[in-house]
Structure 1
Amino acid sequence: MSRLASFPWTYVEKQLECNKSADLISEILKCTCLHPLCQKFPPSVQFRRMFLMELIRRLEAAGCDPLDELYDALAAVVGTEDTTECYKSYLLPSGDAVSLLENVALISDGTTGLVTWEAALYLAEWALDHQQTFTNRTVLELGSGVGLTGITICRSCRPSRYTFSDCHSGVLQRLRSNVKLNGLMEETPPLVSMEELDWTAVTEEQIKQMEADVVLAADVVYDPDIVRSLVELLSAILRCSRPDIIICSTVRNQETYSSFKQQLG
C-alpha cells in the first residue's frame, strides 16, 4: 500500500480547507477510479477501497458537501469480492501506459515472479532515460517476470529484437498474456520472443542463437541458491560475445548481494 501513502494528501487537505468545495475530489475521482484506464484495467479491490475511503475521510474532515459519485464509487467497490489477481498500470512519459495483470500476493504458485518488484520499476525508468542503449539492438532479459521492464523498452526504446525469459511455466504464461495485452506481436517490430530459460541447463549454442547486444535483469539477486547459477550464466554469455550487461537489484540481504559481487570477480 506504499503507493497510497505517496499520494499528495497534504495538498488535497489544504485545498479542501481553503475552498470548502468537493470539486477537487470530483476531479481526482475522474482521474483515478473513474478514469477509462482504471475502468478497463482495475487495480485491486482492496487498493480501490482504501483509496476511496481516504478521499471520503478527507472530504468529511474539511466539512465539504457530500459527493454522491464518490459514495457511489465506494459502494460499487464494497460490493465487489477481493480477487487473487489485479491490474497495475504504469504511465509512460508519452502519456501512454503499460498495463499488467499481476497477482495480489507477493508469493503465489511457488514463485515471486507474478508481481512487479521495485528493481524492475527502476530499471524501466532507467531505460526510458537511456533509450539509445536499446535502440536498434537485440536484447535478452533474464527473469522477466510479468514483463514491466521488457514491455516498457519495447514500447519506448525501439529495440530490433527482444527476448523475454523465465524458468517458471506459470510466469511465462502470465508474461505471454501481458505482452499480448500491451499490443506486442511476434511478427511486427520489435520482434518479440519468449524463452523458457533454466539457468542451470542453458547451453552455449542457445546463447549464441540469441545474439544479444544487451543482457539485462532486475531483482534476480535475492536467493543465495541461484546466485552461482546466475554468475555462471553471465560468464557463459561473455564467453560467446561481449554484450552490455545491466543488472538492477534491490539489496534485501547484504550477505547475498556481497556474495554475488564477489563471485563476479
Structure 2
Amino acid sequence: MNCTHPMTGKGADGMSHKTRNEVIHSFQVNFFAMSLLNAFPWDSLDREIMTTTTSDIIMEILQMTCLHPICLKNPPSLKYRRRFLTELIKRHEMLAAEPLDVLYEALGEVMCAQEEDVCYKTYLLPTGDAVSLAENVAVISQGTTGLVTWEAALYLSEWALENTHLFKNKTVLELGSGIGLTGIVVCRSSSLTKYIFSDCHQTVLQRLKENISNCLTNCDSNSASVCVEELDWENVSDEQLQRIQADTIIAADVVYDPDIIAGLVRLLSRLLNGKVHEEHPDVYIASTVRNPQTYDCFKKELEMAGLRHVVMKDSVAHVFPYNRASSIEMIKIYV
C-alpha cells in the first residue's frame, strides 16, 4: 500500500476525479490520521454511489477504516469515529439499497463506549508500514502541548523521507521530540548510527518512550542505536552535549513561545560554535509560522548570536494528510 497521494484523472467537466481504489485509500489515510472530515473525498464517494445500487464501496471503506486491524488495536478517538460513521451512514442512506447492518453495528459500539484521554493517530509510510502514535485527545494536556503531533513534524518527516542520504551513518539529535513522529519516521527510513530523542517534560518523555517501544522494537528497518534524553535547554551541561556528540540536529515546531527562544538559540550556539564538537553539526528546524512576530524574533536572536540561516526550498512529496495551507518554513542554521 503506497501512502503517497496518487495522480488523479480529469473528467469531462475538467474536475479531478479519483478512481474507486484512490477514494478508498484516501479514506483510509485520512481516517487513521484523524483528519478533519471535510478533508475526505466525499464528493468522489458520492459519484461512486451514484453509479451503483450496491453498498460495496461503503463496505470496503468500513473494512479499511473502523473494521481494520489497525483500528482494532490502535483506534482513533471515540468522538472521531462516531462523527466519521455518522457521515458514512448519511452517504449510504443516499443509496436505494438494503440497510448495511454492520455499519449501524459499528456506530452502536462506539456510541456505547466511553471516551478515554488517549487515542491513536496512525500514519502510513510509502512502504505501507504503519506508525501508530498514542497521543492525548486534548491539544493542551497536563500543562503541555507536547502530547500531540504538530504539522511541522509531519512536514519534517516528509522531508526526511526524501533526504535519507543526509542521515546515513550519522548520530542525530532531535530537540523537542514530543510524541516522536519525526524520529520514528527517520529511524524507520534511514541508515543511522544513532538517534537521540529529547524533551524536558516528564509526561511527554514517558509517552515518547512508549511510542518508541511500540514503533521501533523488533523493527527490521531500524538498526540504529536509539535513546531518549531529558534535555533542558537552559540547564544542559557541556558534559551532556559532549556525550551526545550529534552530527545532525533536527527540530519541528519548537519556535512557538517567545519565552523559550533565547534558551533555544543559546543551545544552538553552543552546539555550533565548536566547543563541544570537533566539527559543526548540520542543524535543520521546521516551523509552522503561526505568529510572524515570534518567528521573526527567533531569526533576530539567531543573527545576534552570530548564527546564519538559509531557507530550505526543497519540494517534498505529500505523504501524510495535514493542512497544506499552513505556513511552514524549514531553515538550515550554520555559523
Identity %: 55
- In structure 1, what is the Cα distance between the partners aligned to 2:288 and 2:297? 14
Q: CA deviation at 1:63?
A: 3.4
- TM-score between both structures, scaled by the size of structure 1: 0.96
- In structure 2, what is the Cα distance between the partners aligned to 1:38 and 1:246? 34
- In structure 2, what is the Cα distance between the partners aligned to 1:178 and 1:254? 32
Q: CA deviation at 1:8?
A: 1.1
Runs of 5+ in structure 2 lacking a partner?
1-33, 304-335
Aligned pair partner of 1:127 in 160, 164, 169: 160
Aligned pair partner of 2:296 in 250, 258, 264: 258
1:202 matches 2:236: yes
Q: Is the contact made by 2:188 and 2:216 (CA closer than 8 Å) also made in structure 1?
A: no
Q: CA deviation at 1:2?
A: 4.2
1:191 matches 2:229: no
Task: Kindly provide the CA deviation profile for residues 216-260 of structure 1, in whole angstroms up to 9, marking residues without a partner as x.
Answer: 000000000000100010000002331110100001111000000
**Higher mean displacement: 223-232 or 56-65:** 56-65
- In structure 2, what is the Cα distance between the partners aligned to 1:105 and 1:64? 39
Aligned pair partner of 1:237 in 253, 271, 282: 271
Task: Kindly provide the CA deviation profile for residues 6-53 of structure 1, in whole angstroms up to 9, marking residues without a partner as x.
Answer: 111111011101112210000001111111111110110011111111
| Higher fraction of helix | 1
1:166 matches 2:199: yes
- TM-score between both structures, scaled by the size of structure 2: 0.76
Q: CA deviation at 1:207?
A: 1.3
Aligned pair partner of 1:248 in 286, 289, 299: 286
| One-letter amino acid matched to 2:89 | I
Aligned pair partner of 1:148 in 181, 196, 201: 181
1:73 corresponds to which residue? 106
| One-letter amino acid matched to 1:136 | N
Q: CA deviation at 1:122?
A: 0.9
| One-letter amino acid matched to 1:258 | D
Q: CA deviation at 1:198?
A: 0.4
Q: Is the contact made by 1:13 and 1:62 (CA closer than 8 Å) also made in structure 2?
A: no
1:33 alignment partner, SS class: coil
Runs of 5+ in structure 1 lacking a partner?
none
- After superposition, the CA RMSD in angstroms is 1.3
- Greater RCO, 1 or 2 (C-alpha within 8 Å, sep 6+): 2
Moved segments of 4+, more than 4 Å: none
1:61 alignment partner, SS class: coil
- In structure 1, what is the Cα distance between the partners aligned to 2:105 and 2:59? 12
Task: Kindly provide the CA deviation profile for residues 148-175 of structure 1, in whole angstroms up to 9, marking residues without a partner as x.
Answer: 0001111111211000000000000000
1:221 corresponds to which residue? 255
Q: Is the contact made by 2:184 and 2:216 (CA closer than 8 Å) also made in structure 1?
A: no
